[in-house]
Structure formats: C-alpha cells, structure tokens
Amino acid sequence: MAQIRFKSNIGALCLLLGLTLWEGLSHAQANTDLSGSGERTATISRAIPDNIYIDHIVIKPQEEKSLLSEEDRERFSYKILRDAQDQFMSWLRWQVLFLVFFAIIGAAALVPVMIRSMVAHQITREREKLEAEKDKTIKATMEANYQSAQTQEQLKELLILEQKIKSQLGDYQTQLGTLHNEIYLAKANLKATTEDFDAEMEDTFEEINNEIYTQNLVLRSLDINGEARKLVFDSLIKDLKSNDLEKQKRAAEILPQFKEEVVAIGSAFIEVLEKEKYSPLGALILNGLGELGRDGDVLTYLLDLTKDTSNPNILAVIGALGSIGEFAAIGTGGVEAVVEQLLSILEGIDDSRLALGVKVTEVKSAIALALSCYGPAASHAIASLIATLTDSEWNVRNASAIALGNMGENASIAIPALEQLKNDKYLEVSSAAAEAINKIQGKT
C-alpha cells in the first residue's frame, strides 16, 4: 500500500508540474521589438490561455521620411505578422506536446494504481463475503453440534427408557404367565362346574319330564274321550285371541305343549301376528312358531317374514328359524331354504334396513346362532361364518365360533382362524374358539 501511495504521489506531482509550466508560459508577454533600424514598432498582446489571438500590431513611423514604400511596408508588416503567428503556433505545439507527455506519464502512473485499487477493493469484497460465509458455516456447525449433542442425549434417554420398558415387559410377561395359569385353572373349574351343572340339570329335566309324562298319563286316564283336553285347548286359543295381554302371554307359552294340534296352533299364532305384527306379544308367539316349525305353512310364513328386515321382531324371526332346526325335522329342502335366506340377510344387512333400536351386530349374532342349530346340514355357510370371526363385536365372533364348532369336521378349514381367536381378549370368545376346535377335531 505504501508503494501504491508513492506512485500515486509521483503521478499527481507530474500533472501539477505540467499544469504550472503551461500556465506560466501562457501568461508570458509576447511583445517583440522588430525595429532593426528603429523605424517600426510591433506590439503583440494575448488575452487568455484558452482563446489566444493577436489584438493588434502598431507600427509607429519615424518623424523622418521612411525609405520604404507603402507596398514594402505592407509586405513587411505581413511578414512580421506571419512570423509572429508561426512562432505562436510553434509555442502552442510545444504546449500540447508537454500536456500530452505529462498526461501520459500521469496516466501511466495512475492506471496501475486505479487497477490495483479496484482489484484490492474486489479482493476486499470477496474476503468479506468469504468471512461472512465462514461465520455462517461456523454458526451452522455449532448448531449442528448442538443438535447432535441433544440427539445423543435423547438417544441415551431412549436407551434408558428401552431398558425400563424391557424390564417392565419382563414383569408383565411374568404376570401374564401367572394370569394365563389362573385363567386356565378358572376355565378348568368353570368346565367342571358347567359339567356338574349340566349333569344336575339333565337329571332335573329328566325328573320333570317323567313327572309331566306321569301327569299326562293320569290326565289321559281321567280324560279318556279327550273332552277335557279339547276344552282346555279351546280355552287357550280363546285367551290367545283376546285383548288381555296377560292371558295372551300365558296361552302362547302353554299352547306349544299340545303337540297333536300343531296345525291349529300355528294357524292361531299366525292369525294373531297378522293382526298385530309389532305387538309386545310378537316375540313370544314367534318363539312358539319355532317350536312348531315342522308344519310347512309355519316355515313358509317365517321365511316370508325375514324378507322385511325392518320388522322390529326380526331377531325373534331369526331365532324362530333356528328353533326349527333344533326341534323340528323339516327335510333337506327346508334346511337349504332357511340357510340360503339367513346368508342373504347376513351378506346384505346394514343399519338403514333395520328397525330403530335393532343393531347390525345383533342380527349377525342371531344369524350365526340360528345356523349353529342346523349343524353339518348348514355346511355351505362355513365361508361366511369364517369371515365373521374377525368382526369388531365380540358377540358376533363368539356366535360364529359356536356355529362352526357345531358343523363338525366339515368346518376343518376354519381351524387356523379359530386358533387365532383363542387369543381373543374376551374370555367367552377364546373359550368358544377352543371348544369349536375340539368339536371339529372330534375331541368332544
């Protein structure tokens, strides 16, 4: 930088010297005495440096008579004027040469300085940019290091949390194993209790049936002609058709016991339902129709009722069809008709087709339980029942498992799905799945 300043000072000094010289020369007087013999005097004056011209030439004649003629005097004056002009032009050329010379020297001195100054300025700007980029990079690096440190801390915390979770998981697995053992014992106890209860109930039912059979024998011996039986039957039919709800309910419960009057009872039940399809008595009557299902007209009537799923008693209708499969022998054609109708409802059911208060899951569960009553005869419903094993509602999964179990070895294709269901969170479902597998494999 000191060298640059030195060269800059030299260039400025040269320019200053040139300008000073030119200024001095331009202000010099240009008066010239041209009187070689003292006969003439010529005076030349200059106004300003930028506009040089000859103001006037004064020739003063001597008092004595001149030896030159007028023509010679004019020629001599012209020569003097021309010589003055030549001298002035020569002086002017030297002035220009001096100016050009000093301008070249000044430019030669200043141009490198200017170039160096521009280069230095550009370098300074680039350096500032690089410094700014460096600062940004350093800042970004510091932030990245900070983030990395935080991430490492978080990773350490996660590892600690993982260890805690693994420890807790081990405890939970231990507790789960204990719970599984307790559940297994509870299931074993429940099974034993259920078997004892079933055996006890079976003995009780047998005693009740024997008592009923004995009472029937007594009644028949007393009512040899059947007149008393007919009177009781007619009285019950009358009560069924009355407007007294309590009498209607009692009649609907007792009438199915008159097995010999299936047709008459079925006709009476259908007649009452046609008058008041949605009466509170409907479910009880439909249950009675299911017990009387061996009558073809009853089966046809129930199948027709299932076509209207908006019926508030649709669950009772489906239950009645299941009862027919449990209590009545209706033949292969009747079974196929029932199963096909139930499957058509299962595949197309949704909330928009049901009465208010009836849920889709309730209908699905009722259909599965109804199909379970037909056992292996409803085997072509296995695929649909396997699909309902994954239903979101536990009662549907439970009913589907029961139905598949009742279909025996024909449902062996459902075992993988039932194996998964053994881990269901609901005890009823997992128990039903395990029992169904045992039935399918012929273990029970």
Q: How far apart are CA 299 and CA 294, in angstroms?
A: 7
Which amino acid is present at 16? L
Q: How far apart are CA 183 and CA 179, in angstroms?
A: 6
Q: How far apart are CA 136 and CA 235, in angstroms?
A: 104
Q: Biggest alpha carbon distance in the chain?
A: 207
Q: What is the pLDDT of residues 112-121, one digit of tens each?
A: 778 888 888 8
Confidence of residue 369 (pLDDT cuts 50, 70, 90): very high
pTM, entire model: 0.52
User: Which tokens go with 84?
Assistant: 């003055």
Q: What is the pLDDT of residues 49-79, one digit of tens each?
A: 444 444 444 545 544 455 667 787 788 888 8
Q: Which residue has the higher pLDDT, 419 or 204?
A: 419
Q: How far apart are CA 66 and CA 62, in angstroms?
A: 7
Q: How far, CA to CA in Å, does 342 sit from each of 241, 322, 347, 399?
A: 30, 10, 9, 14
Tell which residue, 42, 332, 370, has the closest CA to residue 384.
370
Beta bridge partners of 48: 51
| Element spanning 200, H or E | helix 70-222
Q: What is the pLDDT of residues 302-315, one digit of tens each?
A: 888 888 888 888 89
How high does pLDDT run on average in the chain?
A: 77
Q: Is the pLDDT of residue 91 over 60?
A: yes
Q: Is the pLDDT of residue 241 over 50?
A: yes
Say whether 324 sits in a helix, a strand or coil.
Answer: helix
